[in-house]
Amino acid sequence: MPEKFDALFREAEGEKDKGPVYKFKKLIKTPEGKVEREFVSVCGVELEVNVEGRGTQFGAEEFEDFALDDKTVELLKIYAKAIKLNQPPLVEGPTDIGKSKVLEYLAFLTNNFLIYQSFSGQTDVSELIGKYVPNTEDARKTFERILAQKNRGSLKLETLAIIAKINAEKEPRGFTKEECMKIAELEGLSLDRAEWVWQDGTVPRAMEFDGGNGAWLYFDELGAAEPQILVKLNRVFARGMKRIEITENGGREVVGGKNFRFFATTNPPSYAGREPFEKDFLRRWVYQKVSALGQKDFKARLDFAGLRNADKGGRADIFGRPEINELLNDLIVSFAFLAQDYLDKIPKDPGEQQFRMGDFTDALRVAEYLRIFGADDLLAVLRDAVEFYYIGKVDEDKQDSSNKNVRKKLRKILDTALAAKDAAEKLKALLDNPEIVKARTEIKTKLVAAAKRAQALEKGLPSRRPRKEDSVDSELGARTISEVTGRTPDKKEVKVNLAELARYWNTFYKDNKVTWVEPIPEDIKLTEAQATEMKRQIEVLGFDWPVIIPEGLTGEPEYEEVEGEEVDEKTKKKVKVKRLQLKKPAEHYKELHELMSEGYKGKTLYGGNYGEDGGVGASKDKRTGLRIIMSKQVQEVTEDEKLKLTMGRSIDDLEAKGGIFETLGVGGMTEAEYLIFQRVYYKETGKHLDVKLYTWFAASSRPRSGRVPCGDWDPGDQRLHFHSNDPDYQNDFRGCRLAGSFLL
């Protein structure tokens, strides 16, 4: 028995020096004789590469920043062994260690499709097993909206009673056909002509995926689920994870295909909203605890991210010297770990936000801050960055157990880290290098020139384009490019002539009565860097749809902090909490909504969450100013391969380190931008965007709740529909319209 077990993880002969991950081919026995097949060796575990059916949704470009450090190798070993043994791993570990990314990497290597199921306090068994839905697209979407309401507060009492009855039953099940029809009737959904059909949940969908071959099923944040849902998951395990009987669908038996595998991850119980699992539940998994990144791996990833950015043409190394970058990264990591050790000893106040100084995302932000602002006194800039990203998280009046101010103590910890690393002396020695002195002088000259132009604008003097003698290159804003051309991956030629574009959009805004914005100048130009990026978006991402958003299209909402009371779920006691309240809606947002929906048959529908967040004008946009937005002109997100990658992803997924936004180098649209894209599409085609699916407005947020707005076109009532959801919310029918932004 031990020999057979060890043989699962034995390296191929002669392949020991190829690193932890490599592909190879070998002959295997089949009923038809010996056949050559492709395998991937993952830390000594041989996994066969899937060559049938649809294959993976991931591309090689998504793993350019993937570092095979010790923590990654640890996770790879866990997943690879579980895949080989066909046993379900449950990996518990803190955020930012790579639990999800490593699994996606393995799905890519082995060419398997990965289906996601995220858990929260609102996840119910019907998401896992399935439910009945109307067979018409618009009715199905409306019914999905009813069931997807997280707070359920706007539902009829009779509907809530049906949900409560199902949740109280011992045997786990979803809604029956009759219950679905009753809920639709109670909520006023007219379905006279619709038939009800069964729609599989994520579990049977993964088991029967791709003609019965099966897919990988990933339970993300399993510990965030309600305890009763975890109990109901026993139904999935009851028959060895390969078979499940769906009683709600006439007792139909679903059998998992040969490629079906099951994975789960969770944060530790110490995280907010997490509880320890029951031991009977835990024993069904191959439970593995993985610790946070150590300082060595943390710094290795930080250095690696900088090198990868350099390969892509970014400013990875300050003054072109990687040793400066590595020294500064060492200081960032040293401070973060010392600071976290200190904060771990301080009791948390009731209602205090949970965060960790060892968050890898913040370390990346500090490194980027240094690369952007670090032209002169680097240690002073480092202090400023630490203040901005770390110390600012702590209440300015918070004290530790010794009655010392925590912010002041954190600043002393930074001083200690700098002294321990001899930072000032080492940095001085590096900066005295003649090549670096020359680079610093050139950058300082450019910054002085940029400051003079900014002062001229502040005084109301006529602005001018930078002249040659200003020595301002594309990196700092010289605008010389008036046209960009390129061919999309499907060989479509795209030409963006800025003067023609300005004339087109001036006419559009005039015809649509957007009278409060200034005309777009016809002499607008791009920097060389912007033109290069626009060409990349055309030729790599297939973006073929440029839209100009004028300055002042919408204003910014004003919020104020108010104090109130709410009941703490754990203590059941009232606690004082501070909440943001909309003081003044963003100027022109309501007017823009009305003008961009003028002439439609139905009046725009604003969902419950959207209204609770403050309604129209409550969205805060991440970008403002005169800008070009590039996107892909398709009616549905699923019509384009790159956009399709966003389907079923939450905002947290999209914005995560290594997520789609970072991988593709673009983001999403603001709510205002979407209104313009939706309107111009209708004007040019007579059709509407997102008739079948929803899309996130990822570049906007609702500050009162932290939700993110989203929308679609309701074909039944012929109207726009806007609502909002938490950033961790996932839905198989929701994606995101990717967009690149170019500030003019």
Question: Domain spans of the chain?
Answer: 118-256, 309-435, 481-595+619-634, 635-708
Report the pLDDT averaged over residues 125-147. 76
Q: How confident is the model at residue 570 (pLDDT cuts 50, 70, 90)?
A: low
What's the pLDDT score for residue 432? 67
Classify strands 196-200 and 252-255 as parallel, antiparallel or unpaired: unpaired
Q: Does the pLDDT value for residue 544 go beyond 90?
A: yes
- Rounded CA-CA distance 43/73 in Å is 7
What's the pLDDT score for residue 1? 24
Using the structure block, give the residue that is written with the tokens 């002042």.
552
Q: What global pTM score does this model have? A: 0.54
Helix (H) or strand (E) holding 301: helix 295-311
Identity of the amino acid at 116: Y
Q: Does the pLDDT value for residue 145 go beyond 90?
A: no
How many CA atoms are closer than 13 Å to the CA of 336, on its beta-carbon side? 31
pLDDT tens track for 619-662 = 999 888 999 999 999 999 999 989 999 999 999 999 988 889 98
Report the pLDDT averaged over residues 235-243. 65
| % residues pLDDT > 90 (the chain) | 34
Q: How confident is the model at residue 272 (pLDDT cuts 50, 70, 90)?
A: low
CA angle 94/100/101 to nearest 5° reads 115
What's the pLDDT score for residue 254? 87
What's the pLDDT score for residue 650? 93
Neighbours of 596 (CB within 10 A): 21
Q: Does the pLDDT value for residue 698 go beyond 70?
A: yes
Report the pLDDT averaged over residues 179-197. 76
Q: How confident is the model at residue 146 (pLDDT cuts 50, 70, 90)?
A: confident
| % residues pLDDT > 70 (the chain) | 83
- Rounded CA-CA distance 589/652 in Å is 26
Contacts for 584 with CB less than 8 Å, ≥ 6 apart: 557, 558
Q: How confident is the model at residue 449 (pLDDT cuts 50, 70, 90)?
A: low
The SS3 assignment for 80 reads: helix
Report the pLDDT averaged over residues 658-674. 92
The answer to whether the CB of 610 falls within 8 A of the CB of 711 is: no
CA angle 362/365/370 to nearest 5° reads 130
- The overall average pLDDT reported for the chain is 81
Report the pLDDT averaged over residues 10-37. 72
Q: Does the pLDDT value for residue 474 go beyond 50?
A: no
SS3 track for 582-641: EEECCCCHHHHHHHHCCCCCCCCEECHHHHHCCCCCCCEECCCCCEEEEECCCCCHHHCH
What's the pLDDT score for residue 353? 80
Q: At what angle do helices 322-343 and 423-431 cross, to 10 degrees?
A: 160
Q: Does the pLDDT value for residue 39 go beyond 70?
A: yes
Report the pLDDT averaged over residues 148-164. 70
- Higher pLDDT pick, 477 / 345: 345
- Rounded CA-CA distance 216/263 in Å is 8
What's the pLDDT score for residue 160? 81
Q: What is the DSSP letter of 320?
A: G
Range of lowest pLDDT (260-264, 270-274, 480-484)? 270-274
Q: Does the pLDDT value for residue 368 go beyond 50?
A: yes
Report the pLDDT averaged over residues 46-50. 93
Q: At what angle do helices 378-389 and 406-420 cross, to 10 degrees?
A: 140
- Rounded CA-CA distance 653/355 in Å is 18
First-to-last C-alpha distance (Å) of the chain: 68
Q: Does the pLDDT value for residue 498 go beyond 70?
A: yes
